[in-house]
Amino acid sequence: MPRVVVDVMPKPEILDPQGKAVLGALPRLGFGGVTDVRQGKRFELEVEGEVTEAVLAQVREMAETLLSNPVIENFDVRVEETA
């Protein structure tokens, strides 16, 4: 069954305190080699029927109006096959 995934990430120029908190915690936990962490959101949407271009256009509209804040976040919509 196909599933539509929406990834919402803070824009590169926007400060990301959650990502910074993770980045700061890694060395304290003994993990090295990570230079940056950004934290965002992932939405998995199950849709009725086939994922057509019209469905994707509607999901992009949802992403823009409900799932993300376009002033500070970027989003990406894609289809993922599930087992």
Task: By CB under 8 A, name the binding residues for a second copy.
Answer: 7-9, 19, 22, 25-26, 29, 31, 33-49, 55, 58, 61-62, 65-67
Nearest residue to 61 (alpha-carbon basis) of 4, 2, 3: 4
Q: Which is nearer to a second copy, 30 or 71 (CB)?
A: 30
Q: How far is the CB of 17 from a second copy (least distance, A)?
A: 14
Residue 62, number of CB atoms within 10 A of its CB? 16
What gap in Å lies between CA 9 and CA 44, rounded to an integer? 15
Q: How far is the CB of 71 from a second copy (least distance, A)?
A: 19
